[in-house]
Structure 1
Amino acid sequence: MNKTLATLATAALLGMTPVAHAGEAAPLAADPVVEARMIAISEELRCLVCQNESLAASHAELAEDLRREVRSLIRDGKSDAEVRDYLVSRYGDFVLYRPPVKPTTWLLWFGPFLILAAAIIGLIAYLRRRASLLKPAALSAADRAAAEALLSGDSQPTQPKDQA
């Protein structure tokens, strides 16, 4: 009887609690075409806070603001290139994942190849120097006679015949 009363009381309490209903996630933009363009553009842009994430993937507040700005530029009728140019004019080439090849970005584009070439040249120079140090030196006649005397067991090395 006590068990039944406890069950009824629990059911009554649960019946009085408000039920939370899961709802659909609100779309990020009212227009799915604008949202698709924003995502396509922001995939090619770097988050200025995270620096290793795209603007589309970043959860930083600045990234949210920049995505909002990109959406408003798209709604204003700007092309993808104009949106990118606007962000580059404000934040520089760093905002692009693939910055253009120009004199200010030459080191970025060609620096790794220069470092690789310098490393290969350094390795070749090191190996040549090492090889020249490991070459056996030519023995003089006196050194050869002394070595032969030591190997044959003589206590006194003999003078080579050409020096006598």
Structure 2
Amino acid sequence: MRRMILLLNTVLLFGMFGPAAAQDSLPPAPYAYRQLDDPQQEAAAQDLMETLRCLKCQSQSIADSDAPMAGDMRHQVRIRIAAGESPEEVRGWLMQRYGDYVSYKPAVSATTWPLFAIPVLLILLAGGILIRRMRGRA
């Protein structure tokens, strides 16, 4: 009985973590670590990659991250730039695919407007409170 439980636990463990380990063992995408031949296109790709967030690391840009997903995203950026797409078209495609969170420079939209409005409202509120206190002391 103990052998059966041990075997079942082993199977479950490999079943849960096996796919994740297999994904990390895949070779990186061709342009994950290789630059484009055209220096202008590579510069445009680098500038764009600095403004895109790694979805796995979340605190690094895809230019700085060593995560396999960031490598795949760098590959996509480079091949799309090499194909003639503008950096904003590539950003739009990635945002459509992964959501607004992928961009460090989100566009104002129906879902992101609070990100822009709330700080302004807080500054106005703080300014109003300061003005009332200054008037009260005078």
**TM-score normalised according to structure 1 size:** 0.51
- Deviations along 1:73-121, one digit per CA (max 9) or x if unpaired, are 1232222222111111101222221211233212101211222333444
Structure 1 residue runs of 5 or longer lacking an equivalent are 1-26, 132-164
* 1:93-108 alignment runs, 5 A limit: 93-108=100-115
Q: Which has the higher contact order (CA 8 A, sep 6+)?
A: 2
Question: Counterparts of 1:107 and 1:95 in 2: how far apart (Å)?
Answer: 17
Is structure 2 residue 32 aligned with structure 1 residue 31? no
Which one of 90, 102, 123 corresponds to residue 97 of structure 2? 90
1:53 aligned residue: 60
- Partner SS state of residue 43, structure 2: helix
Counterpart residue number, 2:79: 72
- Corresponding residue pairs, total: 105
Distance change >3 Å, CA 39–CA 118, structure 1 → 2: same
**What is the rounded CA distance, in whole Å, between the counterparts of 1:108 and 1:76 in structure 2?**
33
Q: How many Å separate the matches in 2 of 1:128 and 1:60? A: 55
Q: Any conservation in 2 of the 1:88–1:96 contact (CA below 8 Å)?
A: yes
The match for 2:48 is 41
Mean Cα deviation higher: 67-76 or 51-60: 51-60
| Paired residues of 2:51 and 2:104 also in contact (CA < 8 A) | yes
Q: Shift of residue 32 of structure 1? A: 4.2
Residues 36, 78 of structure 2: 8 Å contact kept: no
Gaps of 5+ in 2: 1-32
Secondary structure of 1:77's partner?
coil
Q: Deviations over 1:29-75 (max 9, x none)?
A: 35143432321211222222233322212222211110011112123
How far apart in 2 are the matches of 1:100 and 1:56? 21
CA RMSD of aligned residues (A): 2.7
